[in-house]
Amino acid sequence: MKISYGFITGAAFCLAIAGPVMAQSTAHGAALFSAECSACHSATPGENGVGPSLAGIYGMRAAMVPGYKYSLALRQSHIVWTTDALESFLANPAVDVAGTAMPHPGTEMHMAMPSAIDRGDIIAYLRTLRQ
Ligand code: HEC
């Protein structure tokens, strides 16, 4: 009885610690999104602006948001927006999508995010957006 009580207390303690830490990075991602992405991207489904809505973008194939006119480069990129793909796109958008010789509007608009922590937090936030 004592052992299982200790286990439950330990598990509850871990959850109490993990909760705020995860919430914090998502909250930081939301703040970054509003500062660095929201001028061009909405988090609301169906609201395209300069860039496509990013609602539900996590796990989607690139250039698939309905009603948005993408560059040829992104349409031909065959990217699926997994954590790794977003990580490498945000770290160096021009190289990642445009290849070398093909500059195009989308990637020229994207600034590289040098901080891996910021990229991780933005991706954590993007994962929370539903279509
Ligand atoms: C100045 C405008 C602008 C800003 C700021 C911007 N984007 Fe974009 N983004 C675009 C455009 C335009 C496209 C479409 C690119 C294309 O068609 O090649 C795009 C495309 C994307 C895509 C691919 C969408 C898809 O449907 O495949 C992702 C992911 C993305 N942006 C994430 C971000 C994130 C995250 C930020 C903030 C860190 C950001 N963008 C900031 C303009 C912008």
pLDDT tens-digit map of 17-56: 454 555 569 999 999 999 999 999 999 999 999 899 999 9
CATH number at residue 61: 1.10.760.10
116-130 residue pLDDT tens: 999 999 999 999 999
Helix and strand numbers, DSSP H then E, in the chain: 6, 0
Which phi and psi angles does 95 have, rounded to 5°? Answer: -70, -40
- 50 CB near ligand 1 (under 6 Å): yes
Count how many domains the chain has. Answer: 1
| Nearest ligand 1 atom, CA 65 | 26
Domain range for 14 is 2-128
**Residue 110 clears pLDDT 60, i.e. is over it:** yes
Rounded to two decimals, the pTM is 0.83
Residue 129 Cβ contacting ligand 1 at under 6 Å: no
